[in-house]
Amino acid sequence: MTQQRPSITQCPSNINPPNLKSVSKFHLTGLSEDPDLQPILFGLFLSMYLVTVLGNLLIILAVSSDSLHTPMYFFLSNLSLADICFISTTVPKMLANIQTHSRAISYVGCLTQMSLFIIFVCMDDMLLTVMAYDRFVAICHPLHYPDIMNPSLCAFLVLVSFLVSLLDSQIHNLIALQFTYFKDIEISNYFCHPSQVLTLACFDSFNRSIVIYCLVAIFGFLPVSGILLSYSKILSSILKIPSSGGKYKAFSTCGSHLAVVCLFYGTGIVEYLGSVMSHSPQNSVLASMMYTVVTPMLNPFIYSLRNKEIKNSLRRLHRRIA
């Protein structure tokens, strides 16, 4: 039997605030409505989720149980923890919806999911910026590296990253809580994507665009600028090294981080272009999947395959467990 879709709520022209009613739930379209594909999607996403959680947990265990106590690995373990939380905000709900044959999510549940999503995606963004600064200090100021990147500063940078992420999330929530009427309650994704929720809201499009651009400028452009500035200084310092072996050794210390940065922002740009330029909701969903599922799954592989210390630590961890 085909499930009846909730009716669309039109934006009223004149609204009396005391008479406004909150939306009780949204409808998530998911990846596909074909019933034959649901078991395949469930198995695929469950496997990807388990691989992501296991891979990032192994990174955290390798760093915490071995002698990898340098700032780079401290930030890496926090990035792995953020990636676990990042993917856990979207995939478990989607798996539950597939099992229960329901695409509904409550209004409160949608805002909660949106809030957690913003916290951890912003946390990833901030930590990648902090790690770029760490690589800048290590390559450009190696003699002062232990003094500059001391444990107190490292803990402070992680704390600031979390507080900035929390602030970004709460600003989005405060904006979303102002909306009580929506043009539609169907979200063309498998989770409550912040931009799509704001797009559905009965809110002047010009003001909405200004708000979104301001948030992107503050919480997106500044971290990207920090990464680009750090790597411009790194590249300048590497080019001054006379030997090719020294250049390779210096660049290899930030190769894994650079690969993760390209993956994170590359899939983010693809998701943004897919949602803006594509008229197909399916393409937008696939772009979101690359950003929210594939990226956190590949991060531990990038660091473990390109980093000898991580690989050796994982081998020692395996021998201790075995």
Q: What does DSSP say about strands 186-187 and 25-28: parallel, antiparallel, or unpaired? A: parallel
Residue 234 in contact with residue 135, Cβ under 8 Å? yes
pLDDT per position as a tens digit, 92-151: 988 988 888 888 888 888 888 988 999 999 999 999 999 999 999 988 888 898 999 999
How far CA 202 is from CA of 29, 123, 143, 188, 261, in Å, comes to: 20, 29, 56, 17, 35
User: How high is the pLDDT of residue 281?
Assistant: 63
All domains of the chain in start order, with CATH: 27-321 (1.20.1070.10)
pTM: 0.84
pLDDT per position as a tens digit, 50-95: 999 999 998 888 888 766 678 888 999 999 999 999 999 999 988 9
Residue 285 in contact with residue 90, Cβ under 8 Å? no
User: How high is the pLDDT of residue 229?
Assistant: 92
**Other Cβ atoms within 10 Å of 151 Cβ, number:** 10
Residues listed for the chain: 322
